[in-house]
Amino acid sequence: MSRSNRKEEAEEAIDSINKRTGRNMPQAIGTGVVLVAIILAALMINVDVFVGLIVVFMVLALWELRVDFATVGIRIPVLALWVSSIIILIATYVIEDHVLAMCIGTALALPYVALAASTRLSMVGRRVSMAVANKLSHADADMREKSSFNMQDDGRHVPRFTNVAVSLFVVLYVPFLAGFIVLPLTWEHPVAHAFLMVFVPALGDIGGLVFGAWMGRHKLSPRISPKKSVEGLLGSILFCFVGALVIFLVTYDHSMWLSHWWVPVLFGIMIGIVGTFGDLCASMLKRDLGIKDMGHLLKGHGGVLDRVDSILMAAPFICAVLAMAGL
């Protein structure tokens, strides 16, 4: 077989994989490797650096949401959200009563963001307008037609109450849930907890992708996400269990394993299901907005929120199990 024929077959195989997974897999793998390297480097330097990395990712995610909602005329006050997120996450990490700091920070952020959303502080700037125009130019026409909103890029026909309600939702969706990622970093074994919080849900995504592309036959929720399958969910649970098991065995001694053998099993089932639910919630939001990806910052993955939606949704449940098990 000639080199050109082998190249064509390889390209056809890659195209087939891309169609089954719904993403550019070579780009996705390359981006994933870079992200893993950045996270590992941050953890090797210091947990403080990792917390700073979380803050950066949430700031980027909020910018993406600002653009996403602006495509349908909804304005959220990104500066107020940035300030609130930074304060909530840093306060959760540095203040001695971490849970109280997270709750008070969120409680104060809600009226502050609501006030900002109801004023001119949430006006669309030139940079946002350019980003919105670029996103709309790449939007799928069929998806836009199925959107739950009418396209209003100037926002004049969107009630102010809608801006406020969506802004409050964003506070609870991004910085508040991200606070549960930071919280276990203040306990014993912060590096192990960081791996549980970030890498196990990511493994669940990989398991769902692999099993779904390989043998996905039974659709999980075709109306919300046509590519999600029951087989993919089972693969996600399996990968989450294996990831949690490895972290547990590396971190804790034999006596802890004997008394807490159920923890990795629970993590596998729980993170696999909750992570998939987080993906479906993000897919439903994108469907309502009529967009394919939350952003384009991560090649092959879409936006930052496309990468961390399952992590955010799983974080409170992981925290609860760790607290309940005394880990």
Residue 316 lies in a domain: yes
User: pLDDT-based confidence at 190, cuts 50/70/90?
Assistant: very high
Domain that holds residue 162: 26-325
Residue 223 lies in a domain: yes
Residue 2 lies in a domain: no
Residue 16 lies in a domain: no
Distance (Å, whole) CA 229 – CA 20: 12
Residue 3 lies in a domain: no
The contacts of residue 165 (CB under 8 Å, 6+ apart) are: none
Distance (Å, whole) CA 136 – CA 92: 37
- pTM for the predicted model, two decimal places: 0.81
Residue 8 lies in a domain: no
Residue 12 lies in a domain: no
pLDDT, average across residues 30-37: 80
Q: 133-142, 165-174, 258-267 — which is least confidently predicted?
A: 133-142
Residue 87 lies in a domain: yes
Q: How many domains does the chain have?
A: 1
pLDDT tops 80 at residue 180:
yes
Choice between 205 and 28, residue whose per-residue pLDDT is larger: 205
pLDDT over 70 percentage in the chain: 74
| Phi and psi angles of residue 97, each rounded to the nearest 5 degrees, phi first | -90, 90
